[in-house]
Structure 1
Amino acid sequence: MQPFLHDACVTLYAPSFAVSRPDGQLRRGVDGFYHSDRRALARLEVAVQGVPLAPVGGGPEGADTARFRSVLRGVAQSTADPAVTLERLRSLAPGELTEAFEIANHGSRPALVRVLITTGTDLAPMDRVKSGDVTTPVPPRVEGRSLVWEEDTLTVTLTASPAPDAISAEGVLRYEVALAPGERWDAELVCRASDTTPQPFTAPAPGTAPWAAPQVRSADRALDAWVTQSHADLQRLLLSDPQAPEDVFLAAGAPWFATLFGRDSLLSARMLLPLGTELAAGTLRTLARRQGTATVASSQEQPGKILHEVRREALTIPHEGVVLPPLYYGTVDATPLWVTVLHDAWRWGLAEEEVAALLPHAESALAWMSDHGDADGDGFLEYIDETGQGLANQGWKDSGDSIRFRDGRQAKAPIALSEVQAYAYEAAIGGAALLRAFGRPGADRWEEWAERLKTRFRERFWVRDARGAYPAIALDGEKRPVDSVTSQFGHLLGTGLLDREESALLAARLGGAELDSGFGLRTYSSRMGGFNPLGYHVGSVWPHDTAIAVHGLTRAGFPEQAGALAAGLVRAADAFDGRLPELFAGWGSEVSARPLPYPASCRPQAWAAASSVQVLSSVLGLTADVPGGTLTVAPRVGERFRPLRAAGLRVAGEPLEISVAADGTTEVRAPGGIRVRRG
């Protein structure tokens, strides 16, 4: 059973994070302070003996802090007004949670209360918590004013200051607090988690965000707030590669995916290129160090292949029969995406020497597409899990039931996904441009390969229904088109795989009510068999998915449809206080004036946060070609956001500032040597 997280308060500083109830209490369930895929603290509950606590508000203050306030009902009151308050300030650092408590007497009478802080933990692995398995509490050891829990290589120490009046063997701290009118009482708990097992990744040095801080001021304050909150969250999702600490990348999300994911980290870095190329470079190099070199059936490693995810230890999903090794390569799309991100980073101004150093890895990735990605020689990239314990689906919609025919039947592997063919086409064209620009052989070969792929795609993927022609989501193991209507259309646009007429057909579909919920695109059409607004990939809305469609529509020349989807995402971000979740329910605006949560969604999630910059870039119509000395600015999307000023952008490593007036008049401050083209 999946846990419910939609109303949780999450604070994070990767690789650590905390999940609590909205009132700040940690009461087991999925609550806890987590570090490196283990739950270091499962319970941190504050009570005042004999006194009910009435929460009066609170929540995150940035990404790594949260504040919660409660009233002590009936204590020291001389009128109906509350007199005594409890405030909790939580802050996160890597491997450390600090909880500061303040009780204040605002009344005219003295207060005497007994504060009980109940602590506990199970030191459970993250996969057991996520699956809802019952875990056994680990008894603490009392050492002075500290509690210590130990298991295997993990040690957790919770220290109280000042020392409690009593600490029980069950982990309950007791304070007797006497307050005269106007007095305050303060205490602090610090919980530190230490694991002697080598960690795959660590937190980077503080203040080392590899991008400029975006500053957006627009006619729609919800867009501005979304960008600001996303920037704070993305900073705290950063991780560093121990093999080269200067290389940082984005963990996929909290709480379930606080590690390196090939697809997620690449797409997030690509969306953030208008803020600078350093994140993309660190992500590319971190993945290149782990690029496949051998054929290993258990992990699905192959020469040239880019990995799916890295964990400290094997990941088990018992109810699905999935066991993933710590280094797992079961993804069909990360490899072409790696090539495309390198190409795009070069276009945004990544230094030539850094690009050149990665070209051998690009050549290996391109070779994988034809030598291994196309397993049966039909010219399409496809996948199949032959281990019986890996992911059955290996595109971004990687849940077991995500690839379906329009009547709801599930497709059988091997499966060739439509969007993966678009990624492969884009990688081949971008890879050819890199090889030619750097004087390396093979450019003609990959351009010819891409053109053959385009022809085959048009012949094999396109199907028809009552509304006309469209590409199927996939070809199944018998090469039959899997004919459902899905959000994958957006991933094809602007890649070059489609012509103008084909793109127009998909733009019209994306603007229809069967896919557009009013807050973003449903992953699966509401008219298809098996549609479920709470289905992980068969009806829910994923912000990054819609942002990719906004970008694709913009590149393909359909600003009206792009603007409508962008506005929907901004409305959704506003409803979630600027911190868009990984996904939310696919009910449309006809059901609710607000997007409705998906219970177990990560929040924050890297590519959901990075979507804010992708949408901003699309609204501004940004296209960079630093090697060619040009930057295109074509703000034809989203008139509702004008006037708009965006600062903190970067191109060719230098500051970029753009202002768009209400009438569309545009001013650009670009670095010298870059010619600005107006679209």
Structure 2
Amino acid sequence: MLPDEAPQQPWLHDLSLTLAAPTQVWSATDGQVGPGGLAGVHHGDRRVLSLLRLEVDGRAPTALADHGARGDTHTFVAVPRHLGDPGPDPTVRVVRRRDVEPGLVRESYTVSSTAAEPVVCTLGLRVATDLASMDAVKSGAAGPTGTPDGIGGHALTWEADSLRAVLRLPGARTADRGDHVLATWDVVVPPGEAVTHELLLTVDDARAAVTAPRREAGWSPMVVDSADRRLGPVVQRSLDDLRLLRLAAPGADGAEEEFVGAGAPWFLTLFGRDSLWTARMLMPVTTDLAMSTLRLLAHHQGTRTDDVTAEEPGKILHEVRSAGFSLGEDDGTERHLPPVYYGTIDATPLWALTLHDAWSWGAPEDEVERLLPALERALTWQVEHGDADGDLLLEYVDRSGHGLSNQGWKDSGDAVRRSDGSRASSPLALAEVQGYAYAAALRGAALLESFGRPGTDRWREWAEGLRTEFGRRFWVEDAVGPFPAIALDRDKRPVVSLTSNIGHLLGTGILDADGVDVVARRLVGQDMLSGFGIRTLSTHAAGYSPTGYHVGSVWPHDTAICLAGLAAEGRPETAPVADALLAALAAFGGRPPELFAGDAASTHPVPMPYPAACRPQAWSAASAVSLVSSVLGLRPEGRDAVAVDPVRPWSFGATRISGLGTHGRPVDIDVAADGVARGGRG
């Protein structure tokens, strides 16, 4: 970086990841780590190693191949071209295998030879750490390297605050090289043999806000066998990534509660919105994840009013970290979020909807009943705090001056724009949040009533008032026709802009039949459906950019939510949106990133990456399961039956889905090539 250049957020689209939350290793595709950018061994919100460079006789070997059968292991193969027999055929290889477990990284370095004579070389590792916080890494402004204890021996130790890391290098010599440590092994490899040395890094953070779960994932082993060869591998890889993203934190009475961390590398912690959406999408696979996520968020449910943390009574939090998290916005504003932050407008209604979904899908009634007081507090928050000005609409504003300026799922500073490109000013009432709140009030009332709880008329009456206000105030028109605005601004004027937000209204009940028809048709217009998913903003808008974070890109989870809404409404647009989403998931090898560029598939036949996007991202990974659920038309009927109504036209050929975990018992579903379904309990 030149002296006059400002630090920039690192890109990671071309990096390799090995993950077992809360530990992650990011490297180049040849396995080398650092220096600079994101590369490193990270644990929680701290970079433990910023340099881990393998050399043979002081030279980096030439990369040959890399592969990883699972997300927690990776193998890199390289050739030290200066060694071995003369001639064009490589006769010496170096195989670097990386395995990650929570709090542990193990690497082995195997030098093998088919050369005619013994190979003599020095295997070296250059190692350093800056112990940078994740927000510092994200800003591109990490600090200097530190000096470990133990140089000269086989074990190096770094400590910072409550974190302690120990790097063990059996048999190696270690020496201080100023800004790094050099570890070396003398290697002699006889013809036809191999020599292996190892590294073992252990990390512990006594004050971590989240940890790895102590038990294995209890999810159903869902398997998809389809004539469409894309479908099975996409689902399998996504479920593997979701297992690797699992985290835990203490809930009520210190009990461990499991959830899925939002995404690697930046958001590997509890996020109310992300963790809830992920749990909702995985409902056909497991209700246990939803219930543990709900309990943990209820444990942190707001009890007081605090402008600094954005806490309010009954509110569900936005995120939890061990320390505060600083981030800048594109207008130069510096934002600093406290360790426990409640600045989200939608997590509270989503919590209520997730509880209702879990109950519908067969979660144990005694567990659901214990959460009903938290449900009542969440519904009260919608009426008394979410609707701060009493106009029957939920709106948000950052009162602290250093929290998130936008507090819906599109939470970047420039996310809410008019079609002319100008930004709307808060307090803002987002369209999709009104749909969430309406559905939460009605479904929450139904759930409370089923358990004999009083006072449900209040929530139903409020919901009907909200629906009336939404219909009166959100509908706008452009040259094509009507659609719901993305939001109302601080003056309660519609923010006229066609966005993917309107797709989240489908299935909530806030739209009448005509409104459903309009929204469904607008979502699949050429300005919205890219061929790989639904764009966050219409290409007709002045502020559209295919690589704009929330203003033109495609987010897989966003498309999956729209798809689920289309399927719930029985719309014919379900099929083309499903085809587009599956094309994107397959293009990324089953590991869809947080977002990607909104370029048309007709222009770019593969989706273009957004370079700083998280991958894996929890709700992006869960979108594969949501896709299957949507195209199958899966829905619970009562608490002891499952309805199956495959999308038409059915384009996946003969398909068998086995091991769905509905109601705690396996369900197998067969769909014939003509789209006729047969399903039964296994």
The TM-score by the shorter chain falls in which range? over 0.9
| Rounded Cα–Cα distance in structure 1 between residues aligned with 2:598 and 2:237 | 23
Aligned to 1:413: 426
Q: By how many angstroms is 1:625 displaced?
A: 2.9
Aligned to 1:351: 364
The answer on whether the counterparts of 2:130 and 2:142 sit within 8 Å (CA) in structure 1 is no
| Rounded Cα–Cα distance in structure 1 between residues aligned with 2:55 and 2:568 | 56
The Cα offsets for residues 352-397 of structure 1, whole Å up to 9 and x where unpaired, read as 1111100000000000000000011111000000111000000000
Question: What amino acid maps onto 2:99 in structure 1?
Answer: S
| Rounded Cα–Cα distance in structure 2 between residues aligned with 1:539 and 1:91 | 37
Aligned to 2:19: 12
Aligned counterpart in structure 2 of residue 662 of structure 1, from 642, 651, 673: 673
| Rounded Cα–Cα distance in structure 2 between residues aligned with 1:84 and 1:102 | 10
Aligned to 1:150: 159
Q: By how many angstroms is 1:63 displaced?
A: 1.6
Aligned to 1:450: 463
Aligned to 2:615: 603
| Rounded Cα–Cα distance in structure 1 between residues aligned with 2:42 and 2:474 | 44
| Rounded Cα–Cα distance in structure 1 between residues aligned with 2:255 and 2:22 | 15
| Rounded Cα–Cα distance in structure 2 between residues aligned with 1:134 and 1:283 | 33
Q: By how many angstroms is 1:445 displaced?
A: 2.1
Q: By how many angstroms is 1:106 displaced?
A: 2.4
The answer on whether the counterparts of 2:420 and 2:542 sit within 8 Å (CA) in structure 1 is yes
| Rounded Cα–Cα distance in structure 1 between residues aligned with 2:229 and 2:145 | 46
Question: What amino acid maps onto 2:527 in structure 1?
Answer: E
SS at 1:459 equivalent? helix
Compared CA separation, residues 342 and 638, structure 1 to 2 (3 A): farther
The Cα offsets for residues 218-248 of structure 1, whole Å up to 9 and x where unpaired, read as 1222121110001111111111122344421
Structure 1's unaligned 5+ residue stretches are 672-679
| Rounded Cα–Cα distance in structure 1 between residues aligned with 2:158 and 2:453 | 57
The answer on whether the counterparts of 2:649 and 2:675 sit within 8 Å (CA) in structure 1 is no
SS at 1:26 equivalent? coil
Aligned to 2:435: 422
Question: What amino acid maps onto 1:350 in structure 2?
Answer: A
Aligned to 2:3: none
Aligned to 1:300: 310
Aligned to 1:400: 413
| Rounded Cα–Cα distance in structure 1 between residues aligned with 2:570 and 2:220 | 29
Matches within 5 A, 1:54-453: 54-143=62-151, 144-161=153-170, 163-168=171-176, 170-196=180-206, 198-206=207-215, 208-243=216-251, 244-318=254-328, 320-453=333-466
The range that moved more, 404-413 or 106-115, is 106-115
Aligned to 1:566: 578
The answer on whether the counterparts of 1:519 and 1:571 sit within 8 Å (CA) in structure 2 is yes
The answer on whether the counterparts of 1:204 and 1:245 sit within 8 Å (CA) in structure 2 is no
The Cα offsets for residues 327-350 of structure 1, whole Å up to 9 and x where unpaired, read as 000000000000000001000001
Aligned to 1:677: none
- Give TM-score scaled by structure 2 length: 0.96
Question: What amino acid maps onto 1:201 in structure 2?
Answer: V
The answer on whether the counterparts of 1:337 and 1:423 sit within 8 Å (CA) in structure 2 is yes
| Rounded Cα–Cα distance in structure 1 between residues aligned with 2:19 and 2:145 | 24
| Rounded Cα–Cα distance in structure 2 between residues aligned with 1:456 and 1:288 | 30
Question: What amino acid maps onto 1:545 in structure 2?
Answer: D
The Cα offsets for residues 196-237 of structure 1, whole Å up to 9 and x where unpaired, read as 3x222211124x213212100112221211100011111111
Question: What amino acid maps onto 1:548 in structure 2?
Answer: I
Compared CA separation, residues 662 and 636, structure 1 to 2 (3 A): same
Compared CA separation, residues 342 and 52, structure 1 to 2 (3 A): closer
SS at 1:400 equivalent? coil
Structure 2's unaligned 5+ residue stretches are 1-7
| Rounded Cα–Cα distance in structure 2 between residues aligned with 1:166 and 1:339 | 56
Question: What amino acid maps onto 2:247 in structure 1?
Answer: L
Aligned counterpart in structure 2 of residue 43 of structure 1, from 20, 27, 51: 51
| Rounded Cα–Cα distance in structure 2 between residues aligned with 1:48 and 1:313 | 40
The Cα offsets for residues 251-296 of structure 1, whole Å up to 9 and x where unpaired, read as 0011000000000000000000001210000000000000001111
| Rounded Cα–Cα distance in structure 2 between residues aligned with 1:136 and 1:436 | 59
Aligned to 1:676: none
The answer on whether the counterparts of 2:646 and 2:676 sit within 8 Å (CA) in structure 1 is no
Aligned to 1:581: 593
SS at 2:561 equivalent? helix
| Rounded Cα–Cα distance in structure 2 between residues aligned with 1:439 and 1:370 | 22
Q: CA RMSD in A?
A: 1.4
The answer on whether the counterparts of 2:54 and 2:60 sit within 8 Å (CA) in structure 1 is no
Aligned counterpart in structure 1 of residue 560 of structure 2, from 541, 547, 550: 547
Question: What amino acid maps onto 2:22 in structure 1?
Answer: P
Aligned counterpart in structure 1 of residue 652 of structure 2, from 636, 641, 649: 641
SS at 2:169 equivalent? strand
| Rounded Cα–Cα distance in structure 1 between residues aligned with 2:334 and 2:537 | 25
Question: What amino acid maps onto 2:490 in structure 1?
Answer: G
Q: By how many angstroms is 1:151 displaced?
A: 2.7
SS at 1:641 equivalent? coil
Aligned to 1:630: 641
Q: By how many angstroms is 1:155 displaced?
A: 2.2
SS at 2:409 equivalent? coil
Q: By how many angstroms is 1:632 displaced?
A: 1.2
Question: What amino acid maps onto 1:129 in structure 2?
Answer: V
The range that moved more, 457-466 or 75-84, is 75-84
Q: By how many angstroms is 1:638 displaced?
A: 5.9
| Rounded Cα–Cα distance in structure 2 between residues aligned with 1:50 and 1:193 | 28
| Rounded Cα–Cα distance in structure 2 between residues aligned with 1:667 and 1:561 | 24
| Rounded Cα–Cα distance in structure 2 between residues aligned with 1:311 and 1:2 | 20
SS at 1:530 equivalent? coil
SS at 2:371 equivalent? helix
SS at 1:286 equivalent? helix
Question: What amino acid maps onto 1:258 in structure 2?
Answer: L
Q: By how many angstroms is 1:442 displaced?
A: 2.1
SS at 1:58 equivalent? strand
Aligned to 1:53: 61
| Rounded Cα–Cα distance in structure 2 between residues aligned with 1:203 and 1:435 | 34
Q: By how many angstroms is 1:639 displaced?
A: 1.5
The answer on whether the counterparts of 2:500 and 2:523 sit within 8 Å (CA) in structure 1 is yes
| Rounded Cα–Cα distance in structure 1 between residues aligned with 2:245 and 2:471 | 40
SS at 1:27 equivalent? coil
Question: What amino acid maps onto 2:267 in structure 1?
Answer: F
Does 2:9 align with 1:2?
yes
| Rounded Cα–Cα distance in structure 1 between residues aligned with 2:205 and 2:351 | 32
SS at 1:90 equivalent? strand
The Cα offsets for residues 634-668 of structure 1, whole Å up to 9 and x where unpaired, read as 01256121211111102221111101000122211
Question: What amino acid maps onto 2:74 in structure 1?
Answer: A
| Rounded Cα–Cα distance in structure 2 between residues aligned with 1:187 and 1:252 | 35
The range that moved more, 100-109 or 395-404, is 100-109
SS at 2:234 equivalent? helix
The answer on whether the counterparts of 2:174 and 2:181 sit within 8 Å (CA) in structure 1 is no
SS at 1:652 equivalent? helix
Q: How many residues align?
A: 666
The answer on whether the counterparts of 1:214 and 1:646 sit within 8 Å (CA) in structure 2 is yes
Aligned to 2:663: 652
SS at 1:66 equivalent? strand
Question: What amino acid maps onto 2:547 in structure 1?
Answer: L
